[in-house]
Amino acid sequence: MDPILSRRSALSAIVLGTAASGLTQPASAQETAPTQSPAPATQPTGACTLLPQAVEGPFYFDPKLVRADIAEDRPGAPVQLELRIIESGPCTPIANVRVDIWHADASGAYSGYDGQGDRGDLSTEGDTFLRGTQIANADGRVTFTTVYPGWYPGRTPHIHVKVFLDQKTLVTGQIYFPDALSERIYTTRAPYNIRSHADTTNATDFLFREGEKEGGGIVLAIAEEQERIVASLVIAVDRTGAAARGGVGGFLRRMIGQ
């Protein structure tokens, strides 16, 4: 099926931080990683454009799990997330950089924290679902197997991403899904449809709109296949880290379509 392209629109976060060290790779990591990634959703070529900084959010921690499949036991619409990290300017791939992602499950809960769920009475402390790390291959690519993120009050569905350029410089951002796709999944698919209607869209999300003032965050390119959704994105960064260390502008960039 031909990919359904979404216009890239909103970004969030670029902050400074210290890369976590001592990652361990479980014996099953090679088994869970796909041997050959399917062709990603088509993404239009274009110019790299600076995206603004934003906050990381309260739900990050590093479970030190290098794995492609982060779903664990979480139910939901299957998603294959394909990211490609390139250097701005020459647009050449950056190999061997660490990429972390994390996001909420279908009920809007993150792993590892108390006070989760619509009523705030769910504890997920000790859990690691929907979190993981991959190391970019020679072409700058990482692939994660996950489920479509749920919404929680005041936020549109999104996935958090960190790209560690070195031990002191990283890119932190949030990537989004097309509103129409979220609406369809939330109203027609279990377990999303057992909850009340989502209260926030990209157009009304405060972080999405803050990013939009400066050219905005990122809406993933989407290809809907029979058994899964393939969501893909090219992320261009300033490999020198100068923008991040200066604390200005940020160096997570988006590709603007022709």
Q: pLDDT tens across 173-215, in order?
A: 788 999 999 999 999 999 999 998 899 999 899 888 775 554 4
Q: Is the pLDDT of residue 102 over 60?
A: yes
More confident residue, 217 or 42: 217
> pLDDT at position 115, please?
87
Residue 212: predicted pLDDT: 55
> Is the peptide bond between 44 and the residue preceding it cis, with omega within 30 degrees of 0?
no
Domain limits of the chain?
29-255
Looking at residue 243, its pLDDT comes to: 53
Give the DSSP H/E element, type plus range, for residue 175. strand 170-176
Which of the residue ranges 12-16, 65-69, 154-158, 219-223 has the most confident prediction, judged by mean pLDDT? 65-69
pLDDT computed for residue 245 by the predictor:
52
DSSP string, 181-244: HHHHHHHHSTTGGGSPPPS--TTT-HHHHHHHTTT-BEE-EEEE-SS-EEEEEEEEE-TT-HHH
User: Residue 130 is encoded by which pair of tokens?
Assistant: 């929907």
Sign of torsion, CA 197 5 140 244? negative
DSSP bridge pairs for 223: 230
Q: What fold, for 29-255?
A: Protocatechuate 3,4-Dioxygenase, subunit A (2.60.130)
Which whole number is the average pLDDT over 126-143? Answer: 96
Q: Please tell me the pTM assigned to this model.
A: 0.76
